[in-house]
Amino acid sequence: MRGLVVTGTDTGVGKTFVACLLVRFLRAQGWEAGYLKLVSTGAPRSEDLAFALAAAGLAQDPALERTLAPYSFPLPASPHLAAEQAGATIEPARLHAALAAAGRLFPFLVAEGAGGCLVPLTRDLLLADFLAETGLPALVVARTGLGTINHSLLTVEALRRRQVPILGLVFSDGPSAPDALLAEDNPRTVAAFAQVPVLGRLPPCPAQAAADQAFAPIGQRILQALGSER
C-alpha cells in the first residue's frame, strides 16, 4: 500500500482540512487518491470522512463509510475514553484491516489520525505506536501561532523515537492569521531545531477555490517529498 498518514501537534490544528486538500490536489494531478479516518470522536458518524469524501468528489456510500471510518464515537474525547464510554474497545487489527481494505480501493491513501500523535487508542496503545506498525510516513500539521514550537518539536521527537518517517510539517493558520512576526519565525525555528522540512503554510481560506490555490505549492512539495512515481 502506498500512502501517508496525516497527524497533528494537537486537536483542532487543521489535520482534516489539510488531508482533504491533499486528496483533492492528488486527484487533480491524476492520482487515484482516497481518504481514511482511523478514529473519529464527537459524533456517531465520522463528520471528517463525510467532509473529505465531499471535498474529493467521492460517493457517500454507507458500505464505504464502514471501511473508511472503522471507528466513530459520539463523545468528544480521546479515542480510548470515547470508545470506553460507547462500550467498545479499539482493536489495532481492525485498524490494520481497514488500511488494507482502503489500500485496495485507492492506489494512494491519505489516512488521518485523531488529535495529536500521542493520544491513546486504548489504555496500553498510543496512536504513534500504531503508526509505527503501519510503516507509513507522517505528514505533521501544526498551528502557525503561539505555542507551536513546543508542540511541534515534541511531536517530531515522539515520531522519531518510534522510527516513523516524517515527510515534513505543514503549518495551518486556522480561521484567522496569527501575529505576523510569529508566523514568520515559528516555522523557521521549528525547522532549524527539528531538522524536518517545512512544506508550507496554509493561510485562512474562506472559500474552496482560495484553499486549493493556497495549497497547490504545498502539494507540489509533498509530491517531491514522496517522489513523483504514482
Q: Average pLDDT, stretch 53-70?
A: 80
pLDDT digits (tens, 9 = 90+) for 36-49: 999 999 987 778 78
Does position 229 have pLDDT exceeding 70, yes or no?
A: no
3 state DSSP class of 2: strand
Quote the mean pLDDT of the chain: 93
**Would you state the pLDDT for residue 54?**
81
Query: 190 with 198: CB under 8 angstroms?
Result: yes
Does position 168 have pLDDT exceeding 90, yes or no?
A: yes
pLDDT digits (tens, 9 = 90+) for 3-51: 999 999 999 999 999 999 999 999 999 999 999 999 999 987 778 788 7
**Would you state the pLDDT for residue 230?**
40
Residues annotated as part of the active site = 37
pLDDT digits (tens, 9 = 90+) for 91-144: 999 999 999 999 999 999 999 999 999 999 999 999 999 999 999 999 999 999
User: Cα–Cα–Cα angle for 5, 6, 12, nearest 5°?
Assistant: 150
Distances (CA, A) of 146 to 43, 158, 184, 189, 222: 29, 20, 12, 12, 25
pLDDT > 70 fraction of the chain, expressed in percent and rounded: 99
**Would you state the pLDDT for residue 49?**
83
Q: What is the pTM of this model?
A: 0.93
pLDDT > 90 fraction of the chain, expressed in percent and rounded: 82
Question: What are residue 15's phi and psi, to 5 degrees?
Answer: -60, -50
